[in-house]
Amino acid sequence: MADFSGLVEVIKQASLDAVNASKPASFVFGKVIDDDPLKIEIDDKITLEGSQLILTRNVTDYTVEMTVEHETEDEGRHDHDGSTNSCAAGGGTCTIMTDGNHNHEYKGRKEFEVHNALKVDEDVLLVQMPGGQRFIVIDRLEVGS
């Protein structure tokens, strides 16, 4: 029977060399040096920008829909249609307190803007894509925490 141990070792080494040559994804740290347009420095010589960066929702402004059901805080004393203690605000309901102040019902499906874009001097975690030319900005970091 032939000895295949040498062949197996050659195949293993060829596999490792192929993986290393393809530059698999790796983690990289960076710092935002400009936010309009976005520029991220990953070392003293390399600054990433534009199409090199793929942004996740964790590092961008975005809109989200939420369902809410609560009342506003004390609105103070005012009326909506000129009559005293009127709560006919757009067909909604409100609660008039004994001092004349009132709250408004606030419920239903509402759209909210989440302000989450990166700012100058924030530290970020990136994944360098295979090939090394594009980077996914995963999230901001709290350095020193």
pLDDT 10s digits, 46-57: 999 999 999 999
Contact 54, 48 (CB under 8 A): no
Residue showing tokens 């009132």: 102
pLDDT of 87: 58
Phi, psi angles (nearest 5°) of residue 11? -65, -45
Query: Which domains, and CATH codes, for the chain?
Result: 25-59+117-141 (2.40.50.140), 63-114 (no CATH)
Asked if the model's pLDDT at residue 15 lies above 50, the reply is: yes
pLDDT 10s digits, 88-105: 544 456 655 555 567 778
Q: What is the dihedral of CA 56, 61, 64, 68, to 10 degrees?
A: 130
End-to-end CA distance of the chain: 61
- Report the alpha-carbon distance of residue 68 to residue 107 in Å, rounded: 5
Alpha-helix runs per DSSP H in the chain: 5-21
Q: What stretch of H or E contains 93?
A: none
Contact 116, 58 (CB under 8 A): yes
> What are residue 74's DSSP bridge partners?
none
